[in-house]
Chain A
């Protein structure tokens, strides 16, 4: 079994026409070719490398991570002497990935990374999440390395980044008992210890995923007397330096393999990442976007797992003398599940490609910023609906603990909550709604799609997408009849956001379908959902 080679969609996005350009950007025009034994000489070779490493990840996830998922869910981590001990399977997953040199795959080569682009990070993420979402959260936190790579001093980079490749796990310590969605209220204190050339952290963090990690990025109040986000700075703390106790780990509904910890910092030595006062405003926001895309990839992995569990069960379960996948009612469920998976995936890879272009293009960075909340919102909501439908396809058996769908259902639930709830994703999208940034992008997609050779069915879908955009405009006009500060706009924001997301996914799938017709059915479903979303919201307002 291999979770990469058995999923044609992954290879499809790995070989997307824009990938050659993305590889070229990532490799700085292949400047390291000939100087480093692994550096590719051209885009074709880079993409071959991506493919060969994805094959390896696909093999490990299918052979090791997936078979461990059930036992990890039962066993979970525990606290012993103030330290977290992972479930046996979690440890094995991690060790296998580290021994295979896969940890830190987006790090630059000088820090022992593979220098892979973001597209590959999310592809690895969804492949791992298909096997076990809980493990994908631990794996995904290596994104902390990107923050260090981007903002920390050279000294800190040289000290910590090679350790991440060697398997040092990471956590991102933001939340506190009184600072969840409202991170401006963070209170954990950071005081300068000039004598020792470091800062000292004192206070409590709560709900910290992988909270006993080797390396922590900690948001703390460095400016005494300040009360808002401008008094917060970002620190790196090394577990080996002491000063951290795990008070407890939470007993959660899902992703049980991933330890969620309450942490007490007592005079813990830490080092400033970047500039003072920029912790929340700049660095956390940057990490948060990567983390949201990461949750998108976890969600899509779960969507895929739910599809496959449901498809396999529906093919084997016989009722009334035939497999239940012969019944229209079941087919409808399976089709919707597949369409959600395809739609969210097309949006995620589009966004990841834009993130990869961001380093050299401000417009790409702005687009990545507005698409990221849509990925997080739609993929996580879809994962919950897929998990629900997966159980529905299983009927009574799905309600029993024997089938994986029960675990998927519990694991999915947090995806629309952590790294910003769905409601906060809508808030993040409001600016792009009000200033027309999404509509502008939709116009660009329309031009791109119109320039392609479309068959009759694709032309019909293009016409429907234009109709859906008109529907969106009508809804927007109604919602803003009293201006964008009126409560009506806020009430309608979610419907507006989802309509836009469906339209964008519709265009992306339509364009994907010109390279592979198997996306046509999903495009059809998503395009009609776009029409339905705005129509429904308008009807509710009438």
Chain B
């Protein structure tokens, strides 16, 4: 079984400084420490679980970002992924989710045959949860979102338990398929010391836009209809509490006031 994991190197949001945002409203990545996007790491673990159950499977990690995103590929390989590459090109700069999912879908196609694509539900820097589903659409794959656990896997079918707002749901998809994994899924296993040392010394392949044969008009800012006008840091200043009798009218009024003040 050939498995693709999409992973993103993201700013470590526990350590965000003052210059985290550039004037054009995009993230100033150079100023931030980076981490493996947490839900992508859980996606990698689910891929590794498939590999555990289907010996002989291979896992390829694809990450799009600046050249230093190679750290993600090394990290993933130290945890058990077989190979991977960085999709890096100045022409990808400023991509929104539409352009990103297009570039990633081309990268997946360039990597040849595959049976499964795993990715995190969303990245902690954008919180859109759009890239996984958009990649699935572009590749015309069935998709399972909000995956919490791998229930079973065979050559033909994957069965996943989904974590939804009001409960869980177990669904099956025929392969090939794409799965997005939520934070409720199991943590990723630790790196293996021997792999850690070995892959620290192994160069990571970097692919450019030319290597994935795209329509260049769909890349980067040109291919991104989303325009960020301004980003505000919202600080909830008031900590007052209101006591209400539990009547329908009171609750109705509270909900309206919360909505009118854009709190919910």
Contacts and interface: CB of A to CB of B under 8 A. Distances in A.
Contacts of A45: 201
Contact of B195 (A59, A60, A101): A101
Interface stretch (B126-134, B185-193, B205-213): B185-193
A52 interface: yes
Scoring A37, A45, A99 by chain B CB atoms within 10 A of each residue's CB, the highest score goes to A37
Chief secondary structure at chain B's binding surface: helix
A57 to B, nearest CB: 9
Given A99-B189, A100-B190, A100-B191, A48 B196 contact: no
Contact of A38 (B189, B191, B194): B194
A473 B193 CA distance: 49
Interface string A98-109: 011110010000
B197 A49 contact: yes
A53 interface: yes
B200 interface: yes
A355 to B, nearest CB: 22
Contacts of A114: 193-194, 197
B227 interface: no
Contact of B197 (A38, A59, A112): A38
Nearest to B191: A56
Interface in A76-119: 96, 99-102, 105, 112, 114
A102 to B, nearest CB: 5
B198 interface: yes
B193 A56 contact: yes
A516 to B, nearest CB: 23
A93 to B, nearest CB: 12
Given A37-B201, A49-B200, A52-B200, A99 B194 contact: no
Interface band, chain B: 10 to 19
Contacts of A49: 197, 200
A101 B196 CA distance: 10
Contacts of B190: 56, 59-60, 96, 99-100
A38 B194 CA distance: 7
A38 B198 contact: yes
Nearest to B200: A52
Report which residue of A56, A59, A105 has the largest number of chain B beta carbons within 10 angstroms of its beta carbon. A56
Contact of A101 (B193, B200, B201): B193
A53 B200 CA distance: 11
Contacts of B192: 99-101
A120 to B, nearest CB: 11
Interface string A234-246: 0000000000000
A98 to B, nearest CB: 10
Nearest to A38: B197
Nearest to A102: B193
Nearest to A165: B194
A48 B189 CA distance: 22
Contacts of B189: 99
B196 A56 contact: yes
Contacts of B201: 37-38, 45
B198 to A, nearest CB: 5
Contacts of B194: 38, 101, 112, 114
A38 B197 CA distance: 6
Contacts of A56: 190-191, 193, 196
B32 to A, nearest CB: 18
A53 B196 contact: yes
Contacts of A100: 190-193
A60 B192 CA distance: 12
A96 B191 CA distance: 10
B79 to A, nearest CB: 10
A48 B200 contact: yes
A108 to B, nearest CB: 13
A111 B132 CA distance: 43
Interface of A: 37-38, 45, 48-49, 52-53, 56, 59-60, 96, 99-102, 105, 112, 114
Closest 7 CB pairs of A and B: A101-B193, A38-B197, A101-B192, A100-B190, A37-B198, A101-B194, A38-B198
13 contacts: A37-B198, A38-B201, A49-B200, A52-B197, A52-B200, A56-B191, A56-B196, A96-B190, A99-B189, A101-B194, A101-B195, A102-B193, A114-B197
Given A49-B197, A60-B190, A99-B189, 14 more contacts: A37-B198, A37-B201, A38-B198, A38-B201, A49-B200, A52-B200, A53-B193, A53-B196, A100-B191, A100-B192, A100-B193, A101-B193, A102-B193, A105-B193
